[in-house]
């Protein structure tokens, strides 16, 4: 499957989050083009500040693989990962993350900081930005516009 096709699956997860009143971020993790796990934000439902879509995918993929090392895996997420999620990606030895919309306030894959590319950290996670960027941006922007009105 292509990056775009897998990002469409992440967008479907973001729509689930929106329907549940969560900030609409969705994620999918794949290995060799096969989806291992998909998830969306559940911070409100679980009352858990760590219940980001990315964290759920990392946990789910590790369970599926029976290994915390996510070598060979790619995470697809609709919004640029925050510091917590970017750190978990590096710690899990994830090969790559692909995201849609940049997060100029908290994004740690190039916007505020490039945590996965920091040479001081042992291990690196490659990243690709802007896949289906407009669609991803529309989902998150639409959610916040509805809240503000």
- 81-86 CB contacts, 8 Å cutoff, 24+ apart: 81/54, 81/107, 81/108, 81/109, 82/52, 82/106, 82/107, 82/108, 83/108, 83/113, 83/115, 84/50, 84/52, 84/55, 85/52, 85/54, 85/55, 86/115, 86/116, 86/125
Instruction: Judge whether 135 counts as a catalytic residue.
Output: no
Catalytic residue among 22, 42, 54, 80: 54
Catalytic residues: 54
């Amino acid at each position: 499957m292509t990056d775009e096709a897998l990002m469409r699956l992440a967008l479907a997860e973001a729509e689930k989050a929106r329907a549940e009143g969560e900030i609409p971020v969705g994620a999918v993790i794949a290995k060799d083009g096969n989806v291992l796990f998909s998830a969306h934000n559940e911070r409100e439902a679980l009352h858990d500040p760590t219940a980001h879509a990315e964290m759920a995918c990392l946990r789910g993929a590790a369970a599926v693989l029976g290994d915390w090392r996510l070598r060979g895996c790619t995470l697809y997420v609709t919004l640029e990962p925050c510091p917590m999620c970017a750190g978990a990606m590096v710690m899990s030895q994830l090969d790559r993350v692909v995201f849609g919309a940049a997060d100029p306030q908290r994004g740690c894959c190039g916007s505020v900081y490039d945590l996965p590319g920091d040479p001081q950290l042992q291990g690196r996670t490659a990243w690709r930005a802007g896949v289906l960027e407009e669609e991803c941006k529309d989902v998150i922007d639409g959610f916040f516009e509805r809240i503000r009105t």
